[in-house]
Structure 1
Amino acid sequence: MKKLINLSFIYGILAMISGVFYREFTKFNDFTGRTSLSFTHTHLFVLGMFFFLIVLLVDKEFKLREHKNFNKFLVVYNFGLIVTAITFVWRGVTEVLKIQLSSALTASISGIAGIGHLFIAIGVIMFFLILKKSVEKVEA
């Protein structure tokens, strides 16, 4: 359970840092348009901090961490969320600084972000499969 609390806490801190970075970086560069940086803040709060608080509460009732694939789920999900957050920052910084990217690099960033989202989706599926088995075990 301590691991889940720590993950939630770390993502909460990263979310706050990314929010401050978004606000200050855009202000410092006199940028007033929309940027991908704003997505970093919400993704880290919702998919990081809040998600792991929910996992913690569910784990308390159904002992998810006892499932053989629980640690694999943590690795897959966290990898996806970190990759996704990094690509949002990467794209957002280039947007704010008005850096012209080649179409190949733009596609690469989108592809990497897509891979991050795919890992998050796989992690969510793993989570629900683990939850399903854990609930069945408790009900048996």
Structure 2
Amino acid sequence: MTTFSQRASVIAASVYLVLGLAGGLMYRELTKSTGFPESSVSQLGVLHTHLLALGFLFFLIVLVVDRVFGLGSDKLFQPFFWIYNAGLLLTAGTMAVHGTLTVLGKESSAAVSGIAGMGHIVVTVALLILMVSLIRIVWKTGRPAKDAAPALERAE
């Protein structure tokens, strides 16, 4: 039986995979069409890796931790999930804006940097909530979740 946390993690990982790949494609095509030098650095160039690592891979890890320890059963999981996604999308969105402006040769504003900073703060808060949730689950159970035992045995 799948839970909200498992379905949400799979959906989030899938969405971030698509966004990460689209970010890489956008960077490649925009820099090629504008003649932006390959040796130059922009936030657009690392947008796809941020989305793939902090979105796709991160939620695959959350899914595994949930399956093993029952992370989704903690009441803090849903707040973590929504806050983390809001922060990551805010951060990635400002990276896309700032990087696009850089590639197009335009000045970015202090507002873009401020919004990016807020996104990082929101992600940090979400990660703290995740760790509190994980600590509570591990300390409470001290072992993997009951439904994870058959999956762990099959893996051996």
SS at match of 1:118: helix
Q: Does 1:14 align with 2:19?
A: yes
Shift of 1:134: 0.6
Unaligned runs of 5+ in 2: 1-5, 144-156
Tell which structure's C-alpha radius of gyration is larger.
Answer: 2
Aligned residue among 46, 49, 64 for 1:39: 46
Partner of 2:62: 55
The letter for the 2-side match of 1:16 is L
- The whole-number CA distance in structure 2 between the counterparts of 1:61 and 1:134 is 11
Unaligned runs of 5+ in 1: none
Q: How does the TM-score come out when normalised to structure 1?
A: 0.93
* Root mean square deviation of aligned Cα: 1.1
Q: How does the TM-score come out when normalised to structure 2?
A: 0.84
**Offset from partner CA, 1:91-113 (integer Å, 9 cap, x none):** 01111111234xxxx21111100
The letter for the 2-side match of 1:13 is V
Q: Does 1:122 align with 2:125?
A: yes
**Offset from partner CA, 1:24-71 (integer Å, 9 cap, x none):** 111111001211101211110111001000000000011111111111
Residues 92-107 of structure 1 aligned to structure 2 (within 5 Å): 92-101=99-108, 106-107=109-110
- The whole-number CA distance in structure 2 between the counterparts of 1:75 and 1:3 is 10
Aligned residue among 72, 76, 79 for 2:83: 76
Q: Which runs of 4+ in 1 moved over 2 A?
A: none
